[in-house]
Amino acid sequence: MNDFSLSSMIQQGWPILSILLIMSIFSTATFIDRLRALRRTRCHARQFVRYVIRVIEERGLEPAIAYCAKHPVPVARTVLAVLEQNGDRAARESAMEHAVELEAHELSLGVAALGTIASVAPFVGLLGTVIGIIKCFSSIAVNAGGGAEVVSKGVAEALVTTACGLLVAIPSVAAYNFCVHKIKNLAKDTHLAVYDLIAWLSERKEPPMWDGIRTSTRDRE
């Protein structure tokens, strides 16, 4: 087993190891991208909504809309969708649900790929192990006098791909669960905070009305 080294392992399993390397790079890049996107959404939803309510009470609806338009965070875009909905409570709730779903969808881009890699990587590594063991037994059949040394060397090299598959899958599982948890919490916090705004608007004797404000921020962009 003197030639059992990193170079020999790579030579034996390079096709499978190359696939796992690509998966690892893609998984890492996707997680970093989603992590940056989630960090850009940082905002205390309830405080934001309370401030918007105060702006409406003190200065009116248009300054509140302008304030929301300046903040590119999910809660601001959801509040903006509600304020621009000139309808009853059901219409505002529908606008809120649509806006929250849209924000969650945009934040989830690429997250499914993390889950796929987490599920597939161990099987790719196992495939490499099976191929390696087949080669190992083929070598034993050709070199009948190889003994236990040939068997142990071949099996050890074959198991390397399984280990690499797990090394790719475990971080991918953690990254996937992290992103899903953060997105769900963000959607829940936004939903609860904006629901308070809708309830407040519905309790007003004269719901705020306006003319000429029909275009959403997304259309303006």
**Each residue of 28-57: pLDDT tens digit?**
999 999 999 999 888 888 999 999 999 988
Q: Which amino acid is at 20?
A: L
How many CB atoms are closer than 10 A to CB 74?
25
**Domains of the chain by residue range:** 6-220
Reduced to 3 states (helix: H, G, I; strand: E, B; else coil), residue 220 is helix
Q: Which burial class, exposed, middle or buried, applies to 54 when counting CB atoms under 10 A from its CB (0-12, 13-18, 19+)?
A: exposed
pLDDT at res. 122: 93
With a cut of 70, say whether residue 2 has pLDDT above it.
no
CA angle 41, 47, 50 (to 5 degrees): 125
With a cut of 80, say whether residue 61 has pLDDT above it.
yes
Give per-residue pLDDT as tens, 105-157. Answer: 999 999 999 999 999 999 998 888 888 787 777 777 666 555 566 666 667 77
Give per-residue pLDDT as tens, 63-100. Answer: 999 999 998 899 999 999 998 888 788 889 999 999 99
- Residues 195, 89 contacting (CB under 8 angstroms): no
Position with higher pLDDT, 9 vs 191: 191
Provide CB contacts within 8 A for 10, sequence distance 6+: 17
- Residues 52, 197 contacting (CB under 8 angstroms): yes
